[in-house]
Structure 1
Amino acid sequence: MARILSERDVAILKKAAPECTGLVCAGSGGPYRSVLPPLANHYAANAEDFRIRLERLDDDDLHYLAGLILDGSESLGCVSPEYIEVFLSVVDIRLGRDVALSILEHYEGSGGCAP
């Protein structure tokens, strides 16, 4: 589900990627509609860098993102499986196995990358 990023979304993105100065996807030319895809695809150099960036977020930020994922507002479709594994690992450690499994089920049932 496409959405316009809220102030909180932007704050989370900039906490994880302080170098973020714009909210437009370089590939599509459209505005970012989620937090995790641009973090994974435009700012993280690799999976370990993605993990480091996620670790900058506090538990409230992770709970917020998990809620958006589970209600369909935050897309994971354009995030590679390797990065999804990293995200699920961070969620499992910080928020618990049940939350991570719920996100995994949602991810497996999603339709992939949507513009």
Structure 2
Amino acid sequence: MARILSERDVTILKKSAPECTGLVCAGSGGPYRSILPPLANHYAADLADFWERLERLNDDDLRYLVGLILDGSESLGCVPCGHVEVFLTFVTDRLGRDTALSILQRYESEDGCAR
């Protein structure tokens, strides 16, 4: 589900990617509609960098992001499979295995990466 990023969404994106100065996707020319796809595709240099950027988020930010994923507002569709796996490991470490499994179920129900 496409959405317009809220002030909180923008704050989270800029916390994890301080170099973010605009909210337009360089590839599509359209506005960002989620947080994780631009973080993974435009700002993180690799999987380790993606992890380090996630570490900038506090637990409240992470719970908010998880809530958006679970209610279908935050898309993981454009996030590369390796980044999704890193995100799931990160969520497991910070919020627990059950939370990560809920995200995985949502992701797989939306035709996530073929395993």
So what's the TM-score if we normalise by structure 2?
A: 0.96
1-structure distance, mates of 2:71, 2:111? 15
Give unpaired runs (5+ residues) of structure 1: none
Q: Does 1:110 align with 2:87?
A: no
2-structure distance, mates of 1:102, 1:110? 13
1-structure distance, mates of 2:88, 2:61? 14
Q: Does 1:45 align with 2:45?
A: yes
1-structure distance, mates of 2:4, 2:73? 10
Secondary structure in 2 matching 1:82: helix
So what's the TM-score if we normalise by structure 1?
A: 0.96
Q: State, as a whole percentage, how many aligned pairs show the same letter.
A: 77
Superposed CA RMSD: 0.7
| Map 1:1-115 → 2, pairs under 5 A | 1-111=1-111
2-structure distance, mates of 1:68, 1:50? 19
Give unpaired runs (5+ residues) of structure 2: none
Superposed structure 1 runs of 4+ greater than 6 Å apart: none
Task: Provide the aligned length of Structure 1 versus Structure 2.
Answer: 112
Letter in 2 for 1:106: R
Structure 1 residue 111: deviation in Å?
4.2
Letter in 1 for 2:23: L
